[in-house]
C-alpha cells in the first residue's frame, strides 16, 4: 500500500459527519423501506438452496444472515438483490413486489466480497458510475463523489485507480459506489471476507457507525458468528436453506432454539447429555447436586482465560473455560478428580 | 545479446543497407515507383480492413467461446488455431479449391481483391480471438453484477465496463493481425493471382523484384513494411503497458 494522505484503513467513527452522511444517503420521501420475503424457494438442479424462507428485515436495521457455506445465505441475499430469480415466493422492497423486477430497478446497493471494482476507472469514476448513467449533471456527480469519499475516509483518492488501493480501501470505495445511487437497501455479501483480521475488525466497527448515521436498511451475509454478533442488531441464523432462528444477538446467543444455533454461535461442551457453553461450566472439588465427575487431562493458560480439559467416566471429553481468578482459587491439577455442572446460561439437549 | 544481434539485428541491418545502396533518393524512388506504391497500398488497405473485421468477429467469437455453452465447443475452440498450424500455402490451395475457377459453391474470388481479403482473414483469425479470450475469462461476473445493481442496462455494461476492459487485448490482437497480414505471402500467392496494381501484395512485389534482379527495389519495399510493422507494434505496446500499469495487471 502506498503512503496515504488521509486515514488509511480505519477511519475512526468520529470522522463520519452525521449530517453529511444523511444528506447523501437518505432516500427522498418516507415510504416503508423494509424488506419482506415470503415463502421463497430456490433450487439449483437437485440442490435445494432456499426452502420456503419467510423473513422481515426491520426498517433501518443492520441484519446479518449468518450460516455455514451452503446454508443459502448468499442465495437469499442475491435473490433480494435480483441477481437470482426464485422458483417460488415473493420479495418485497418498500412494500413493492419486486420478485421479477431486474436488479437495475430495485433501488439497491450491493457490495461483493471481492470488491468488484471497475479496474479501468478511477476511484472518482467508480463511485460516480451510478449517478453518471442516470445522466446527472457533472457538477452534482463530482460533489456527491467528493462527499461520499469523505464519508468512507477516501478523500484525496479521487484520481487513483483501484489497483493503487489496499483491500480495505477498495471495499470502502465499493461501499461509497453503492451508496452513491441512494439505495433503499444496502446488501453486503461477505464484505470483509477477503480482508485480514485487523482490517476486518476496523471496518466492522466503521460499518456499524456508518449504518447508524445513514440509517439505510442493511443486510449483511457472513459465516463468521463473531462478526454477526459484533455488527448486527438482528441475526438470521441459516442452515440447509432454512432460517433456524431470527432475533437479536443476545437472544440467538443466550436462547438458541436448536442444537445447530447453539453450536454455530459459539463453543460448546456436552455435559450430561446437554449442550452448554464452556464458560457456563462450574468446576468444584466437592460433589454438588447435578454435577458429574471428571478427571483433569490438561490445564491451558490463555491470558485472561484458563481452559481446563477433562474427561468423564465414560471417556467423553469436556472443555471448561474459567477466568483467571476462578482458576487461581480452584488450582486444578492434571489427574485431579473434579466435579462439573452447568451453572447458568443456555443449554440444548443433544443427540450426541 | 550476441545471439539477438546475429539472428535479428544483422539481417535487418543488411536489408537496410541494401535498401539505401543507391542513396536516400534511390530508396524513395524505389518506393515511389507506381507498381511499388500500388502494391503497398493494396497491402495496407486490405490489411487494415482485415484488422477491422477481426476486431469485430474475433471479439464475437471469443465471447461465444467463453460465455456460451454449446455442443462441440471444445472442437470449435481447437479449430481456431488451425490457421496457425496450417502451412499458409495449404490455406491458399484450400481457398482456391473453394472459391477458385472450379468453385463448388459458385463463388469466384480467384485473382480478386476480395480473394486476398478472404485469405488474409483466414490466416489472421486466431490473433484477436486468442488475445481477447483470456481477458474475457478473467472478467469477473460480479463486476457486471455490480454495474447492474447500480442501474446499468446490458448495453451500458457492454459499452462502459466490458469493452473498455477488453480494449487493450482487442488492440493488441488487431495489431498482430495487421502486421501478420502486411507480410503474408503463402496464403495469397495462389488465390490472389498477383495481378500488378490490382491484387499484387507487397510480398509478391518484392519476390518479383528479386526475380528480375532489382534487389534494391525489393529491399526498399521490405524496409517500408518493416518500418510500418515496427511502428504499429510499438504504439500498441505503449498503450498496452500503460493500461496494464494502471490496472495493476503487471503484478
Name the grid cell of B22. Answer: 543507391
Say if the Cβ atoms of A118 and B147 lie within 8 Å: yes
Residue B36: name the closest of B194, B204, B205 by CA.
Answer: B205
**pLDDT interval class at B101 (50, 70, 90):** confident
Specify the 3-state DSSP secondary structure of A247. strand
pLDDT of residue A30: 47
pLDDT of residue A25: 41
Q: Give tens-digit pLDDT for B2-46.
A: 888 888 888 888 888 888 888 888 888 888 888 888 889 989 999
Which residue among B146, B150, B247 places its CB closest to the CB of A112?
B146
Say if the Cβ atoms of A83 and B149 lie within 8 Å: yes
Q: Where are the beta strands (DSSP E) in chain B?
A: none
Name the grid cell of A219. Answer: 443486510
CB atoms within 10 A of CB B102: 10
Q: Å from A291 to nearest chain B CA?
A: 54
Residues of A with CB under 8 A from a CB of B: 81-83, 102-106, 108-110, 112, 114, 116-120, 129-130, 133-134, 161-164, 174, 177-178, 180-181
Are A86 and A40 a contacting pair, CB within 8 Å?
Answer: yes
- Rounded CA separation B119/B50 (Å): 10
Structural domains in chain A, sorted by start: 7-259 (3.40.50.300), 268-349 (2.40.50.140)
Q: Å from B165 to nearest chain A CA?
A: 7
Identify the residue among A128, A133, A193 best suited for mutation to test binding to B, counting B beta carbons within 10 A and taking the highest.
A133
pLDDT of residue A17: 52
- Rounded CA separation A76/A315 (Å): 42
Are A178 and B149 a contacting pair, CB within 8 Å?
Answer: yes
CB atoms within 10 A of CB A14: 7
Query: Does B139 reach chain A within 8 Å, measured CB to CB?
Result: no
In this prediction, the residues of chain A whose per-residue pLDDT falls under 70 are 1-33, 350-352
**pLDDT interval class at B250 (50, 70, 90):** very low
More reliable by pLDDT, A222 or B99: A222
Residue A64: name the closest of A208, A215, A267, A214 by CA.
Answer: A208
**pLDDT interval class at B248 (50, 70, 90):** low
Query: Does B160 reach chain A within 8 Å, measured CB to CB?
Result: yes
Query: Which chain A residues touch B156 with a CB distance below 8 Å?
Result: 133
Structural domains in chain B, sorted by start: 18-250 (1.10.3720.10)
- Rounded CA separation B75/B108 (Å): 29
DSSP conformation letters of A11-31? --GGGS-HHHHHHHHPPSS--
Q: Give tens-digit pLDDT for B54-66.
A: 999 999 999 999 9
Name the grid cell of B206. Answer: 518484392
Helix runs in A218-342, H state only: 225-231, 249-254, 259-265, 324-330
Q: Give tens-digit pLDDT for A173-199.
A: 999 999 999 998 999 999 998 888 888
Order of all β-strands in the sheet with A337-342: A281-284, A337-342, A292-302, A305-311, A317-323
Mean pLDDT calculated for residue range B142-166: 93
- Rounded CA separation A88/A70 (Å): 19
Residue A194: name the closest of A176, A211, A170, A177 by CA.
Answer: A170
Specify the 3-state DSSP secondary structure of B103. coil
pLDDT of residue A232: 94
Say if the Cβ atoms of A129 and B243 lie within 8 Å: no
Chain CA centroid to CA B135, Å: 20
Are A65 and A220 a contacting pair, CB within 8 Å?
Answer: yes
Report the complex ipTM: 0.80
DSSP B197: T
**pLDDT interval class at B147 (50, 70, 90):** very high
Q: What is the CA radius of gyration of chain B?
A: 21
Are B239 and B220 a contacting pair, CB within 8 Å?
Answer: no
Residue A166: name the closest of A207, A208, A209, A115 by CA.
Answer: A115
Q: Where are the beta strands (DSSP E) in chain A?
A: 35-44, 47-57, 62-66, 88-93, 96-97, 108-111, 185-189, 217-222, 234-239, 242-247, 269-271, 274-276, 281-284, 292-302, 305-311, 317-323, 337-342, 347-349
What's the pTM? 0.80
Amino acid at each position: 500500500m502506498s503512503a496515504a494522505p488521509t486515514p488509511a484503513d480505519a477511519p475512526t467513527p468520529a470522522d463520519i459527519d452525521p449530517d453529511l452522511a444523511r444528506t447523501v444517503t437518505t432516500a427522498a420521501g418516507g415510504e416503508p423501506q423494509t424488506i419482506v420475503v415470503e415463502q421463497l424457494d430456490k433450487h439449483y438442479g437437485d440442490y435445494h438452496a432456499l426452502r420456503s424462507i419467510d423473513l422481515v428485515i426491520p426498517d433501518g436495521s443492520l441484519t446479518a444472515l449468518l450460516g455455514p457455506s451452503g446454508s443459502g445465505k448468499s442465495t437469499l441475499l442475491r435473490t433480494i438483490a435480483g441477481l437470482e430469480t426464485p422458483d417460488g415466493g415473493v420479495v418485497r422492497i418498500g412494500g413493492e413486489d419486486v420478485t421479477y423486477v431486474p436488479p437495475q430497478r430495485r433501488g439497491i446497493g450491493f457490495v461483493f466480497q471481492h470488491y468488484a471494482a471497475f479496474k479501468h476507472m478511477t476511484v472518482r469514476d467508480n463511485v460516480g458510475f451510478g449517478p453518471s448513467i442516470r445522466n446527472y449533471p457533472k457538477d452534482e456527480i463530482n460533489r456527491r463523489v467528493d462527499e461520499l469519499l469523505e464519508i468512507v475516509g477516501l478523500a484525496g483518492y479521487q484520481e487513483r485507480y483501484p489497483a493503487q488501493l489496499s483491500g480495505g480501501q477498495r471495499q470502502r470505495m465499493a461501499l461509497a459506489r453503492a451508496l452513491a445511487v441512494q439505495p433503499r437497501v444496502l446488501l453486503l455479501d461477505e464484505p470483509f471476507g477477503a480482508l485480514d483480521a485487523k482490517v476486518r475488525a476496523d471496518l466492522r466497527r466503521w460499518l456499524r457507525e456508518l449504518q447508524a448515521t445513514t440509517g439505510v436498511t442493511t443486510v449483511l451475509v457472513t459465516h463468521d458468528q463473531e462478526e454477526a454478533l459484533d455488527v448486527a442488531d438482528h441475526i438470521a441464523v441459516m442452515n440447509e436453506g432454512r432460517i433456524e432462528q431470527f432475533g437479536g444477538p443476545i437472544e440467538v446467543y443466550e436462547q438458541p432454539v436448536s442444537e445447530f444455533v447453539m453450536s454455530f454461535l459459539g463453543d460448546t461442551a456436552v455435559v450430561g447429555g446437554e449442550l452448554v457453553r464452556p464458560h457456563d461450566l462450574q468446576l468444584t472439588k466437592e460433589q454438588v447436586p447435578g454435577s458429574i465427575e471428571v478427571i483433569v487431562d490438561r490445564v491451558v493458560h490463555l491470558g485472561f482465560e484458563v481452559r481446563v480439559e477433562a474427561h468423564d467416566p465414560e471417556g467423553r471429553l469436556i472443555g471448561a473455560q474459567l477466568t483467571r481468578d476462578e482458576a487461581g482459587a480452584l488450582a486444578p491439577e492434571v489427574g485431579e478428580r473434579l466435579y462439573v455442572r452447568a451453572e447458568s446460561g443456555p443449554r440444548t439437549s443433544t443427540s450426541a | 545479446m550476441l545471439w539477438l544481434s546475429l539472428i535479428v539485428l544483422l539481417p535487418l541491418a543488411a536489408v537496410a543497407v541494401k535498401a539505401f545502396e543507391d542513396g536516400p533518393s534511390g530508396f524513395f524512388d524505389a518506393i515511389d515507383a507506381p507498381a511499388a506504391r500500388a502494391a503497398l497500398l493494396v497491402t495496407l488497405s486490405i490489411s487494415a480492413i482485415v484488422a477491422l473485421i477481426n476486431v469485430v468477429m474475433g471479439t464475437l467469437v471469443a465471447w461465444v467461446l467463453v460465455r456460451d455453452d454449446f455442443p462441440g465447443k471444445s472442437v470449435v475452440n481447437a479449430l481456431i488455431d488451425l490457421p496457425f498450424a496450417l502451412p499458409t500455402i495449404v490455406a491458399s490451395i484450400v481457398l482456391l479449391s473453394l472459391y477458385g475457377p472450379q468453385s463448388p459453391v459458385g463463388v469466384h474470388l480467384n485473382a480478386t481483391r476480395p480473394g486476398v481479403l478472404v485469405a488474409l482473414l483466414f490466416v489472421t483469425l486466431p490473433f484477436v480471438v486468442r488475445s481477447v479470450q483470456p481477458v474475457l475469462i478473467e472478467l469477473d461476473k460480479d463486476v457486471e453484477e455490480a454495474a447492474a445493481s447500480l442501474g446499468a442496462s446490458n448495453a451500458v455494461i457492454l459499452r462502459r465496463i466490458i469493452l473498455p476492459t477488453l480494449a487493450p487485448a482487442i488492440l493488441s490482437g488487431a495489431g498482430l493481425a495487421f502486421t501478420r497480414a502486411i507480410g503474408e505471402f503463402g496464403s495469397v500467392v495462389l488465390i490472389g493471382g498477383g495481378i500488378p496494381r490490382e491484387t499484387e501484395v507487397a510480398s509478391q512485389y518484392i519476390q518479383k523484384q528479386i526475380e528480375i534482379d532489382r534487389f534494391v527495389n525489393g529491399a526498399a519495399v521490405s524496409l517500408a513494411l518493416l518500418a510500418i510493422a515496427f511502428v504499429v507494434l510499438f504504439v500498441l505496446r505503449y498503450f498496452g503497458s500503460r493500461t496494464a500499469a494502471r490496472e495493476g495487471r503487471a503484478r
